[in-house]
Structure formats: structure tokens, C-alpha cells
Amino acid sequence: MMKRLVVITGANSGIGKATALKFYEAGYPLLLLDKNISGVKKLKLDNCLCQELDVTDIKSYKNAIEKGKELFGEIGTLINNAGIMLADTIETQSPQEWQAMLNINVLGVLNGLHCILDEMKKNQFGTIINLGSVAGKKAFTNHAIYCGTKAAVLMISENIRQDIAESNIRVVTISPGAVATNLLTQMSNKEIQQASSDWQKDLGDEILNADNIADAMLFAHEQPQHVCIREIVIAPTKQVP
């Protein structure tokens, strides 16, 4: 059976890039989206379209989806991976940082769903994988807004899963704990950034890497269509919270 198009956001680095490579090796055509997609473009993957995209711009999102469909046909899978983590205290953090997290982590997911769900419902087939976080299930000091956005992803995923289950569309949430990516480098509060980095360093070699999360995504995806792994919570064995 011909494999259907897989769309991945935040595909230029970290978990997104690792996931792109896993699905590429598995033989899927790819539409890779990121604000800066140069890192993946350098790999010169065949059967792959790279598009620079801000997931908060739904018009550009729809245009990118149409380009992908023109090249590779119907969408089989959307992986909502794009996200940012800007930790700080509520009283000192810039409201612009709150808005950025809400826009990318929540509205970016909704924009992707809006762009592909009609087609999936018509085809009575599809898989949606949303990147959640352990932070969407537990509180972490100075991460109130980030935790809130990831909690929203969990609830949106479960609600939509129930709404579209009869259309034979699977919704999977992958909720990682500590992963060695560049997520911490986005923080403007350097003191909190350092504290978070030190916490990860305490886990040493036990911290997860991007491939661990990509493997979980591919595992859930490769189950028969009638099998929906609703959520995978994956963290280092030595991570307590």
C-alpha cells in the first residue's frame, strides 16, 4: 500500500528533526514545516518538501498543505511538534512571552487540525500526533504558562479524539519528560534557564534524547489503524516529577 503524506511542524531541529528522519527511513513522503527549515534542507532528502512556515499563520499553513498534497497526494498524518518554552515568574515575565507560548503551543496545534481534518474525515482515515509534555500533567516551578499550554494540548487532544473517533482518525499525545534539545536556550530569564539546565545535568546520561521521542511517535503510528495509543508518557527513569 502506498504510504500517505506525513506533515511535521517544528521539523528543523530536536524532536521534530529526529521524527522527520525516522519517518523518512520508514518510507513516508514528508512535508516538513518550520520558521527556519535550512537545517533539514541541507540533508537533501528525496520524497520530501521543506517549507518555511509560522504555525500561527493559518493562511500560509493552508498554502503549505496544498503544496504538499500536489506533490505527494493525500495527507495521512499530522505531527504537531512545534513549540516553545519560556519559563519565568508571572510578575516579571513579559506578556509577549505568554502570548508567544499560547500562539505556538496551542493555536499552532489548532491551526494544523483546522487545515487537515476535513480531508481526513472525508477519507475516513488519518493519524494526528500532538506533542504534549509531562509539564501538562504536573506543575513545575516558574513554568506556569508553559504548563498551561501543554495541559491545553492534552485536553484538546482527548476531546478531539472523542469527536472524530467514528471517522477512523487516531489522536495520539506524546508527553515527554526531560529531553536533551535546544528548548532551554529559548528562555530570556537566564537564572531560570541555568536552574533548568542544572536539573537536566543532574540526570546525566539518563536524560532522554530526541530519538527516544521519535521512536515513540513511530511506534504509535505504526500500529494498525484500528489501534489508537491515546497517550504515551515518556521520561528518564531517574526523573521523579
127 is written with which cell numbers? 493519524
Residue 22 · residue 28 · CB < 8 Å: no
| Set 24, 28, 61, 146: catalytic member | 146
Distance CA 175, CA 134 (A): 5
Distance CA 14, CA 21 (A): 11
3-state DSSP call for residue 94? Answer: coil
H or E segment and range at residue 135: none
Helices and strands counted in the chain (H then E)? 8, 7
Distance CA 131, CA 102 (A): 14
- Tell me, rounded to whole angstroms, the distance of Cα 79 from its chain centroid: 6
Specify whether 24 is catalytic. no
Distance CA 129, CA 77 (A): 8
Q: How do 169-176 and 126-131 pair as beta strands? A: parallel
Beta bridge partners of 232: 174
Q: What DSSP letter does each residue of 36-66 carry, written as one string?
A: --HHHHTT--SSEEEEE--TT-HHHHHHHHH
Residues with a known catalytic role: 146
